[in-house]
Structure 1
């Protein structure tokens, strides 16, 4: 995990422009909204620029001369200009808000699609909380950049240019005096920007750590409470929270410093204008109206920069989030379809492993030169101690991982040459730890597959003997299922996941991974009855800890430390008095003692 965190923190600063360019590709489909937003921003800027000049006219041409009628006219004009500014500002805010929501929707959809396409090896090394942070917090952070960032910068730039032209037109000497503080502003902004960017990047990483820790602890709360780990975990969370607080305070220090420094620079520029401009008014080389207008323009010159300082926190957070989002989007799945992948419409169900070597990490071999063949319709059981490589065979057959050496064939075709979706469409998989989604019993059986009717859902449940307990629920098949199936017993969750596999009707392959290892005797009897029907005529690979569940299969493959050590049916293996015999004797004695 530390390596993943380190990789997230090391992101080159010089890629800022590349990030903006890449983000702009999500803006292009909504260029109409962008053009509208820019037009409204420019219109807002023009009305804002007109305000001080109208005040100049009011003072010099009407107030100083006592022209009441002209003063009424200019007051109405000033009100109309500000009313237009209000309308333009409202429409611009709404347009950019819509733009931001549309882009965030697209980003969330692309991120979710990317997450679903990644191989299991990615999820093995990446905490769930970190992934959730990408799709939620990080995408939300971009909203400020999209709604008050890119488009607003265009408007602020136009305003700055407009004010610069106007103040030089009004009085070029006072304009030069104003510009004396700009180099100081540039130096301070550049100094603080570098530190704020690093602080916000660190802040997002630490937030991700907190999310990952909370997610892990909530998922394993029964273990936490059973082993009295509350105090220890509280201390761990306190350390993470303290680390986050330190990063937050560091970023807050720079943010809090930027605003006041900018106000001080603005005040310095205003003081210089009052001094030099006031002397010009006294010398009668500058009108009072021009000085008032000039002072307002000076204040508005620094207003866009002041706005930027207020939004700097969100903008820097958005840039850091942008880096992390694109980092995830650039992640490539380890398992991909070959360029010439073949469809697999119909299969007979022949499975063959030929000299298969596999390791999750480098050359720490989990499977060593494994070879076996399963004929169409044959039922085979894989048995052996924990770590023998049984589950790895299932994962490889489903292409959750790829082998390093050898071949895995289905009907004589290497599975690497078959479309992954087509391959998995023929596989029914029931895991030891059944996973149920939030929804209803029926939605968990059909997984929202519209082609599976209510009748087929019920038939699948009846087939695996789940219908009886479902009918006793208040809402039957519409009974709500809480997260991960909370409220249902392990056996009930197992039967539902079994019904799910049957509802999708894998044509010739049904792969069961220790499906009965954690089920009570009564439930096991029900599922064994269903198994006998399901396995008939289907190619089946069964993995079970209880050897009593595999006695009736056609063949048993015994594995030990990644190798096949014995093969045969139950009676043949007992007669050999080898490894299987020792496993059986050990389990028989354990059950007898129990």
Structure 2
């Protein structure tokens, strides 16, 4: 990919432009609903971050034998849980509505473009390949948008809230966690770049495979007539095997992320427990703060892991979006001239006189058809199935 000056365009810059175009053309029209979704995500994150603090307060209550808090703390926990549940449900529904509207807009834009495309462009691209973009590519975009709009912001806000609780409870233990987790960023980025390349190849191959199936099944009569069953079976086998290889490449790449995050999470928990145990033997810290901190750390593991795996879905979605934009950017070579006048038909009537036609000897489809179509008029042919309407046309 190159820029206007002909110099190579860096992948990061290309990704930024692609993401900016997706925002400008697809997401921005729904920014009002998106703002509502973000507010609900913030509520979910804030209530999640409150759990470790409630754990700390519970231990403090037990230590102080404060009976007045026996009712307040459970009620606070129930209230936080209800608020989180309602906000989570509302945010999921609002975000899903945004994503489904965007997907409908993308498909309509593709369909509208193809309706105005040159016949040469339509014939140059197999129908199965175009159909694959409507189904497979758009599904990858849907998954990326859902994971990004539903998960990314909510997970980031949740991690921020939990990290705030962790620093409030014990800033020194928090520093240990912050030293360990960023190590995972480098391999995750590399895996994401590889996934994007594999995903693009997989989507192209899915288009080819769909075209092959469409041609083979729609031409079943021709296949049987010329005894081509073995040939078609071999073609399909090669296509299915290639799809299997590409899919497994993506599976192997994606499958590396979760184990890395799991191991790093275990190392972080082990480091925290070891250091906190050492400090408590020295008479520093409290059981409540330590329990709340470990609780926050364990709750943060899931959104952190989700952020790590999100890069894979995002790269696949970007590859699909790039293919769709390539389709939308193809301009027809036959266009209306500036100031062109509308076509006006004033003469040129069509007439048939005694027309007879048969597809097979002895079985006439048309038997002496007389028809007059005046210029500029619209005529409808009405009749039962097989009466010869298409043949007349």
Q: Normalising by structure 1, what TM-score?
A: 0.57
Larger Rg computed on CA atoms? 1
Specify the alignment match of 2:293 in structure 1: 294
The structure-2 alpha-carbon separation of the partners of 1:294 and 1:232, relative to structure 1 and needing over 3 Å to count, comes to: same
Q: Deviation string for 1:74-112 (max 9, x for gaps)?
A: 122112101111111011011111111111111111111
SS of the equivalent of 1:207 reads helix
Specify the alignment match of 2:46 in structure 1: 46
SS of the equivalent of 2:364 reads helix
Cα pair 1:96 1:146 within 8 Å, conserved:
no
Measured after TM superposition, the shift of residue 159 of structure 1 is 2.5
- Counterpart-to-counterpart distance in 1, 2:259 and 2:107: 37
Is 1:303 matched with 2:144?
no
Measured after TM superposition, the shift of residue 36 of structure 1 is 1.0
- Counterpart-to-counterpart distance in 2, 1:201 and 1:208: 11
Specify the alignment match of 1:202 in structure 2: 201
Measured after TM superposition, the shift of residue 131 of structure 1 is 0.5
- Counterpart-to-counterpart distance in 2, 1:232 and 1:270: 58
Q: Deviation string for 1:179-226 (max 9, x for gaps)?
A: 111331111212221222222222212211111111111221111111
Which has the larger helix fraction? 2
Measured after TM superposition, the shift of residue 296 of structure 1 is 2.1
Output aligned runs, 1:415-434, within 5 Å: none
SS of the equivalent of 1:341 reads coil
Specify the alignment match of 2:36 in structure 1: 36
Is 1:169 matched with 2:168?
yes
Measured after TM superposition, the shift of residue 231 of structure 1 is 1.5
The structure-2 alpha-carbon separation of the partners of 1:162 and 1:537, relative to structure 1 and needing over 3 Å to count, comes to: closer
Specify the alignment match of 1:82 in structure 2: 81
The structure-2 alpha-carbon separation of the partners of 1:342 and 1:43, relative to structure 1 and needing over 3 Å to count, comes to: same
Q: Deviation string for 1:136-155 (max 9, x for gaps)?
A: 22222222222231353222
Measured after TM superposition, the shift of residue 337 of structure 1 is 0.9
SS of the equivalent of 1:523 reads strand
- Counterpart-to-counterpart distance in 1, 2:151 and 2:83: 18
- Counterpart-to-counterpart distance in 2, 1:268 and 1:171: 18
Cα pair 2:128 2:214 within 8 Å, conserved:
yes
- Counterpart-to-counterpart distance in 2, 1:267 and 1:322: 36
Q: Deviation string for 1:147-179 (max 9, x for gaps)?
A: 231353222222233333333333222122111
The structure-2 alpha-carbon separation of the partners of 1:37 and 1:535, relative to structure 1 and needing over 3 Å to count, comes to: closer
Measured after TM superposition, the shift of residue 324 of structure 1 is 1.4
Is 1:149 matched with 2:148?
yes
Cα pair 1:45 1:155 within 8 Å, conserved:
yes
- Counterpart-to-counterpart distance in 1, 2:148 and 2:157: 14
Cα pair 2:191 2:312 within 8 Å, conserved:
no
Which has the larger strand fraction? 1
RMSD over aligned Cα, in angstroms? 2.7
* Structure 1 range deviating more: 265-274 or 340-349: 340-349
- Counterpart-to-counterpart distance in 2, 1:520 and 1:337: 46
Cα pair 1:121 1:334 within 8 Å, conserved:
no
Specify the alignment match of 1:389 in structure 2: none
- Counterpart-to-counterpart distance in 1, 2:176 and 2:142: 38
Is 1:21 matched with 2:28?
no
Q: Which runs of 5+ in 2 are unaligned?
A: 1-8, 377-393
Measured after TM superposition, the shift of residue 305 of structure 1 is 2.5
The structure-2 alpha-carbon separation of the partners of 1:109 and 1:516, relative to structure 1 and needing over 3 Å to count, comes to: farther
Give the count of matched residue pairs.
366
SS of the equivalent of 1:166 reads helix
Specify the alignment match of 1:547 in structure 2: none
Cα pair 2:223 2:229 within 8 Å, conserved:
yes
Specify the alignment match of 1:100 in structure 2: 99
The structure-2 alpha-carbon separation of the partners of 1:319 and 1:536, relative to structure 1 and needing over 3 Å to count, comes to: closer
- Counterpart-to-counterpart distance in 2, 1:87 and 1:76: 17
**Whose RCO is larger (CA < 8 A, sep 6+)?**
2
Output aligned runs, 1:413-492, within 5 Å: none
The structure-2 alpha-carbon separation of the partners of 1:193 and 1:464, relative to structure 1 and needing over 3 Å to count, comes to: farther
Measured after TM superposition, the shift of residue 117 of structure 1 is 0.8
- Counterpart-to-counterpart distance in 2, 1:106 and 1:464: 49
- Counterpart-to-counterpart distance in 2, 1:263 and 1:179: 15
Specify the alignment match of 2:4 in structure 1: none
Is 1:232 matched with 2:73?
no
The structure-2 alpha-carbon separation of the partners of 1:517 and 1:17, relative to structure 1 and needing over 3 Å to count, comes to: farther
The structure-2 alpha-carbon separation of the partners of 1:193 and 1:533, relative to structure 1 and needing over 3 Å to count, comes to: closer
- Counterpart-to-counterpart distance in 2, 1:525 and 1:87: 68
- Counterpart-to-counterpart distance in 2, 1:537 and 1:93: 57
Cα pair 1:204 1:317 within 8 Å, conserved:
no
The structure-2 alpha-carbon separation of the partners of 1:196 and 1:305, relative to structure 1 and needing over 3 Å to count, comes to: farther
Q: Deviation string for 1:276-314 (max 9, x for gaps)?
A: 112222222211111111112223333222123455554
